[in-house]
């Protein structure tokens, strides 16, 4: 059973699943699909070729799927895909993709996007992420799983954040943040491993291995790519291999301050 407030405007063609709730003055355009059990609060706008999965909660005044803030955009058929069990708080602003970036913005499952968060065009977000209030993500950003971004942070376009990483509040990240690591500052650079997040999700042996690898990679003044290549070739740890391959594949470089022997 759907619960739709009489003041909501839903264009012909929009597809609504079972047990969808839509609040007062919401506006949903014709190409939108909303999955079962999703709740849309008052004054939410959902536009474009947007698919929203099951059991999401979208709070008031969110703007979902409006055209990307890209001057090259020329009304192409681009998409926004949002998975299941996400919470999107007040005044969140989420753009679809662009032709130049793959035509898709994708948000996975079980994420929390807090108030005033801006998700730019062609962004990929994994699962179980927390993006705090007033964070701004530039276009083409890629975020892994179980990533935490503190409030009022900014992430430069094309930057990648690996699984289990954390960006502290009020930071400006302009280079890639490897998996399992934490960065802070403006401009942000590595401050160590995301120990709290790792303790919640990984066994102690894996954390101890990551501590040794982090020291070798970032604190001993060695050539970063050489150390990463050695770990990728010889390590039996899945976590260390993941971190090393992330470093090897980085196009923007890693956000760390190199230590130089004197």
- Cβ partners under 8 Å of residue 243, min gap 6: 162, 178, 179, 180, 181, 210, 213, 217, 228, 231
Give the Cα-Cα-Cα angle 249, 252, 254 (nearest 5 degrees). 75
Indicate whether 80 and 205 sit together in one domain. Answer: no
Cα separation values, 150 from 11, 135, 191, Å: 37, 7, 14
Q: Looking at the domain assignment, is residue 226 inside a domain?
A: yes
Q: Among 99, 122, 140, give the residue marking a domain's end.
A: 140
Q: Looking at the domain assignment, is residue 68 inside a domain?
A: yes
Tens digits of residue pLDDT in 216-236: 999 999 999 999 999 999 999
Sequence length of the chain is: 262
Q: Among 140, 159, 190, give the residue marking a domain's end.
A: 140
Q: Looking at the domain assignment, is residue 176 inside a domain?
A: no
Q: Looking at the domain assignment, is residue 146 inside a domain?
A: no
Q: Looking at the domain assignment, is residue 260 inside a domain?
A: no
Indicate whether 22 and 113 sit together in one domain. Answer: yes
Domain with 63, as residue range(s), is 3-140
Rounded to the nearest 10 degrees, the angle between the axes of helix 238-249 and helix 204-214 is: 40
Q: Looking at the domain assignment, is residue 169 inside a domain?
A: no
Indicate whether 106 and 36 sit together in one domain. Answer: yes
Indicate whether 20 and 87 sit together in one domain. Answer: yes
What is the spatial order of strands in the sheet that 63-64 belongs to? 9-10, 27-28, 45-46, 63-64, 93-94, 118-119, 136-137, 154-155, 172-173
* CATH number where 9 lies: 2.160.10.10
* CATH number where 241 lies: 1.20.1180
What is the spatial order of strands in the sheet that 160-161 belongs to? 15-16, 33-34, 49-52, 79-82, 104-107, 124-125, 142-143, 160-161
Tens digits of residue pLDDT in 20-50: 999 999 999 999 999 999 999 999 999 999 9
**pLDDT score at 260:** 58
**pLDDT score at 258:** 79
Residue 19: pLDDT band with limits 50, 70, 90: very high
Q: Among 125, 140, 155, give the residue marking a domain's end.
A: 140
- State yes or no: pLDDT of 240 exceeds 50: yes
DSSP state of 66: P
Tens digits of residue pLDDT in 79-131: 999 999 999 999 999 999 999 999 999 999 999 999 999 999 999 999 999 99
**pLDDT score at 261:** 52
Just list the catalytic residues: 121-122, 139
Q: In total, how many domains does the chain have?
A: 2
- How many percent of the chain have pLDDT more than 70? 98
Indicate whether 22 and 135 sit together in one domain. Answer: yes
Q: Looking at the domain assignment, is residue 24 inside a domain?
A: yes
Average pLDDT, the chain: 97
Residue 262: pLDDT band with limits 50, 70, 90: very low
Q: Looking at the domain assignment, is residue 121 inside a domain?
A: yes
8 A C-beta contact, residue 97 and residue 78: yes
Count Cβ atoms within 10 A of the Cβ of residue 74 and give its class: 0-12 exposed, 13-18 middle, 19 or more buried: exposed
Indicate whether 133 and 9 sit together in one domain. Answer: yes
- State yes or no: pLDDT of 250 exceeds 80: yes
Tens digits of residue pLDDT in 118-171: 999 999 999 999 999 999 999 999 999 999 999 999 999 999 999 999 999 999
Question: Using omega within 30 degrees of 0 as the cis cutoff, is the peptide bond preceding 86 cis?
Answer: no
Indicate whether 31 and 108 sit together in one domain. Answer: yes
């Amino acid at each position: 059973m759907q619960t739709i407030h009489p003041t909501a405007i839903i264009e012909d063609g929009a597809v609504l699943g079972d047990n969808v709730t839509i609040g007062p003055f919401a506006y949903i355009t014709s190409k939108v699909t909303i999955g079962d059990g999703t709740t849309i609060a008052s004054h939410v706008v959902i536009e474009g070729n947007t698919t929203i999965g099951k059991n999401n909660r979208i709070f008031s005044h969110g703007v979902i799927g409006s055209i990307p803030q890209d001057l090259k955009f020329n009304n192409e058929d681009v998409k926004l895909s949002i998975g299941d069990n996400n919470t999107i708080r007040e005044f969140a602003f989420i753009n679809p993709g662009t032709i130049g970036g793959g035509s898709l913005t994708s948000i996975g499952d079980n994420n929390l996007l807090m108030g005033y968060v801006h998700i730019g065009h062609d962004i990929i977000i994994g699962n179980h992420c927390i993006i705090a209030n007033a964070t701004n993500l530039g276009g083409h950003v890629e975020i892994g799983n179980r990533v935490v971004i503190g409030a009022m942070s900014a992430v430069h376009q094309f930057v990648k954040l690996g699984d289990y990483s954390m960006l502290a509040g009020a930071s400006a990240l302009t280079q890639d943040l490897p998996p399992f690591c934490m960065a802070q500052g403006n401009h942000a650079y590595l401050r160590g491993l995301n120990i709290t997040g790792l303790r919640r999700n990984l066994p102690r042996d894996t954390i101890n291995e990551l501590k040794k690898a982090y020291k070798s990679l970032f604190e001993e003044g060695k050539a970063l790519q050489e150390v990463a290549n050695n770990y990728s070739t010889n390590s039996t740890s899945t976590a260390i291999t993941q971190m090393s391959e992330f470093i090897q594949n980085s196009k923007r470089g890693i956000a760390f301050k190199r230590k130089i022997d004197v």
